[in-house]
Amino acid sequence: MLSELSASMSHLLRCLAVLALLALPNGAVLAQTSEQVRAEFAALWAAPTADATTDSEALRNYPLYPWLVATRLRMALADTGAGVDPQGVMAARAYLVEAGDVVHVRDLRRALLAAHAASADHAAFLADWREVVANDLLRCQRFDARLAAGDTATLAPEIADRWLDEAQLPEACAASFAWLKTQPQYTPALVERRVRARLLQGDSTRASSLLPQLAEQRQRRYEAWVRQLARPAGEFASLARGAPQLLDSEGFTDSWARWARKSPGEAADLLDAVAATQKLSVAQKQALQRDTAMGMALSRRPETIALYRQVPDRLLAERDHEWRVRAALWAGDWNQAFNWLTQLPEAMASQPRWRYWNARTLDALGQRGEALQRLSTLAAENDSYGLLAAWRAGKGWTPINEPNPVTVEQRAALEATPAFVRAREAWLAGIKPIASLEWADALESVPAAARPALVREAAAMGWAEQAIVTATKLGIFRDLDALFPRPYPELVRKSAAEAGIAPAWVYSVMRKESAFKPDAVSSAGAVGLLQMLPSTAAMTAKAAGQPAPGAEGLKDPALNVPLGALHLREVLDKSDGRWQMALAAYNAGFGAATRWRPPQTMDADVWIENIPYNETRTYVQRILFHVGVYQWLETGKPVRAGNWLPPVEPAPATP
C-alpha cells in the first residue's frame, strides 16, 4: 500500500514538475532557435517520453515546447488497464487552468474529457467541457453526463435536434436517443419530421425504418414516397394512368425533380398526362416543367428551351436562371439567351460570368460596338471571364498585380504574436499538423492591420497552400507573386519539355490539384503534386518504359511531376489538342468529357459554360485563369487565350 502511494505521489510530482516547466513567460518564444534545439524537439515529438528532467534549458525555451508538455500530460491520462490515474487527471486540470483555451491544449482537454467519461465522473466532465474541442463522440458523452447529473430541463429538445439532423445516428448517442423516446417530446410528429428530412435527402432506407411508428394513413403516404424514389418510372406511369397520388406537394415535386434530372426524356413524355390525371394546378404543372427543363439542360437536349419558355420567372431559382441561359447558348439561340440574361436577378446580372455573356450575346446579335465596350471593361477583371473578355475583344489580357510587401510595423506585430512564431517554427521543423493549427490561431490573434502580411509570410516560407487559403480568407487576390509560386523550376521545365507542353499548364494544374503539397492524397486516392491515381500513374509509366511508382512513390516530386506532365499530354492528345476538353477529362474522366462533346462545332467558351458538373466547370475555368497568370509572370507580355481555346468539334462518327 505504501509503495503504491509512493508511486502515485512520484507520478504527481513529475506532472507538477512539467507544469512548473511550462509556466514560462511568452517572451521566451523570441529566443533564436538553433538547429540543435529543433532536432531535440523533433526527436521527442516523434517518440515522446514522460520524463522532463533531461530536457535542456534551450528546449524549455523553445516555442513549441508547450506542445510537448501537453502531450506528456495526455500520456499520463492513458488508461493502462487499472483505470486512469487520478493524479494525472489533477495535473491535466491544473495545467488547463493555467494555459487557458489555447490551441495546443485541445487534444489534452479531449483526453481529459474521455478520462472523465471512462470513470463516469459526470460532474467533472461537465465542468471541463468546452465546445471548441467538441466532436461527435464527446457530444454524445456530454448528453450522457447531463442525464446522469439530472440536467434535463432543456435536454430533450437538444437531443431531438441531433436525432433529426443526423443521417447516420452515432452509436455513442444510443443511450441518449433511447431516453429521448421516453420523453413527451418524442411524438409521431417528431418521427414524421425525421422521415421527411431523410426522404428529402433521398435516404429511403433510414426513412423506411421509422414508418411503423406512424399512423396507418401517414405510413401509406410515406411508403408511396419511398416507392417513387425507388421505382420512379413505374410509379409516375401509374399516376399518368390515373392512380391516386398519396404524396403531398413537396414530396411529389421532390421525387419528380430527382427523376427528371436522371431521365428527363421519360419525365417529359409523361408530364402532360400526369398533370391531367392528377388535376394539377397551373402552378404545379409549371413546377414540373421547370424541374424537367433542368434535367433537359443538364443533358443538353434540344427540347430544353421550349420547356423553359413555359415556366414563369417567379418559379425560377438561381440555378434555373443559370441553366436556361446556358441551354440557349448551347443551342446557338442568341436572341433567347439575351432575353433571359436581361431577366436575371440583379445580384446575378452583376457577376462577371453574366456580364461576359451579356456582352457575348450583344456581339453575336451584331451590336459589336456596345459589346466591345463591355468586354473591354470586363477584361480588367482578375478571373477567367476577364481573360475570355480580352480574347473576345481581340486584345491581350494583362492581370492586375498588386504586390503587398510586409511593412516594418506588420513584421513587429507578427513577431509579437506567439501563435505566429509557433506556426512558423512548426513549419520549419516539418511538423505540419502543429503548423496548421497554430496558423489558424494566428489568423485570429494577429492585429487586423498586420493580417495581410501573413500571405507574404506563408509564401516566403514555401507554404503555398497556406498562402492561398489565407489570401482567400482575407480577400487578397491580386498579389500574384505570392499567390502563384513556381516551385521545382528545373524539374517542371524539364518535365514539361519532355511532355511537349508549356510549364504554365503544369504549374496551373499543380496549383489547383494539390496547392503544391507533395504528400497530398485525395479522398479518391489521387496522390502528390499532380494528383495521380496509382493505377493511372502505372499505365503512364509503362507507356514511358518506366516502373510503376506506387502510391508512396507518387509523393516524390521527382516521380510525380514527370509522370503527371506525361499524363496531361496523353489526355491532351485524346482531346484533339483542345485544352478545355483535356482539363475536363483530367478532372471528370475521359468518358464524361467525351459525352459532353457538342452535336456541331461549338465555341470553346460556350462549351465550357455548359459543362454539367459544377466542380469540373469551375476546375476548367480556374486553370485557364491560372495559365494566363503564369504565362504573364513568365513573359511579362499580354496573354492571348485564343491561342489555346480552339472550337470544340463533335465526336467522330463511329463506323
- The pLDDT of residue 6 is 39
Cα distance between residue 553 and residue 444, in whole Å = 37
Query: Which of 282, 283, 270 has the alpha carbon at shortest distance from 242?
Result: 270
Active site residue 98: no
Contact 113, 133 (CB under 8 A): yes
> Quick one: average pLDDT of 617-638?
97
- The pLDDT of residue 2 is 33
Catalytic residue among 192, 457, 513, 570: 513
C-alpha cell at 258: 430527382
Q: Is the pLDDT of residue 307 over 50?
A: yes
- The pLDDT of residue 17 is 46
Q: What is the tens place of the pLDDT at every residue in 117-143?
A: 999 999 999 999 999 999 999 999 999
474 strand-pairing partners: none
- The pLDDT of residue 26 is 45
> Quick one: average pLDDT of 301-324?
97
Q: Is the pLDDT of residue 7 over 70?
A: no
- pLDDT-derived band at 9 (thresholds 50, 70, 90) equals very low
Crossing angle for the helix pair 86-99 and 2-22, nearest 10 degrees? 10
Residue 602 φ/ψ, nearest 5 degrees: -135, 140
Q: Is the pLDDT of residue 15 over 80?
A: no
- pLDDT-derived band at 80 (thresholds 50, 70, 90) equals low
> Quick one: average pLDDT of 23-40?
62
Cα distance between residue 348 and residue 355, in whole Å = 9
- The pLDDT of residue 434 is 97
Q: Is the pLDDT of residue 149 over 90?
A: yes
How many other CB atoms are found less than 10 A from the CB of residue 168? 7
Q: Is the pLDDT of residue 21 over 70?
A: no
Q: Is the pLDDT of residue 18 over 90?
A: no
Query: Which of 413, 419, 455, 416 has the alpha carbon at shortest distance from 434?
Result: 419
Cα distance between residue 228 and residue 225, in whole Å = 5
- pLDDT-derived band at 499 (thresholds 50, 70, 90) equals very high
- pLDDT-derived band at 272 (thresholds 50, 70, 90) equals very high
- The pLDDT of residue 655 is 61
Q: What is the tens place of the pLDDT at every residue in 355-373?
A: 999 999 999 999 999 999 9
Q: Is the pLDDT of residue 451 over 60?
A: yes
Cα distance between residue 104 and residue 434, in whole Å = 8
- The pLDDT of residue 652 is 81
> Quick one: average pLDDT of 634-639?
96
> Quick one: average pLDDT of 18-22?
46
> Quick one: average pLDDT of 54-78?
94
Q: Is the pLDDT of residue 65 over 70?
A: yes
Which residues lie closer than 8 Å to 30 by C-beta, 6 or more apart?
415, 421
Q: Which helix (H) or strand (E) holds 478?
A: none
Q: What is the tens place of the pLDDT at every residue in 243-260?
A: 999 999 999 999 999 999
Q: What is the tens place of the pLDDT at every residue in 153-188?
A: 999 999 999 999 999 999 999 999 999 999 999 999
Q: Which helix (H) or strand (E) holds 259?
A: helix 249-262
Cα distance between residue 353 and residue 109, in whole Å = 47
Query: Which of 109, 118, 126, 121 has the alpha carbon at shortest distance from 71?
Result: 109
pTM score over 0.85:
yes
DSSP letter string, 205-237? HHHHHHGGGS-HHHHHHHHHHHHHHHSHHHHHH
Tell me the CB-side half-sphere exposure of residue 623, using CA atoms within 13 A. Answer: 30
Q: Is the pLDDT of residue 14 over 60?
A: no
Q: What is the tens place of the pLDDT at every residue in 508-538?
A: 999 999 999 999 999 999 999 999 999 999 9
- The pLDDT of residue 78 is 83
Cα distance between residue 424 and residue 446, in whole Å = 14
Cα distance between residue 90 and residue 18, in whole Å = 13
CA angle 599, 601, 606 (to 5 degrees): 90
Q: What is the tens place of the pLDDT at every residue in 392-424?
A: 999 999 999 999 999 999 999 999 999 999 999
Tell me the CB-side half-sphere exposure of residue 450, using CA atoms within 13 A. Answer: 18
Cα distance between residue 227 and residue 349, in whole Å = 40
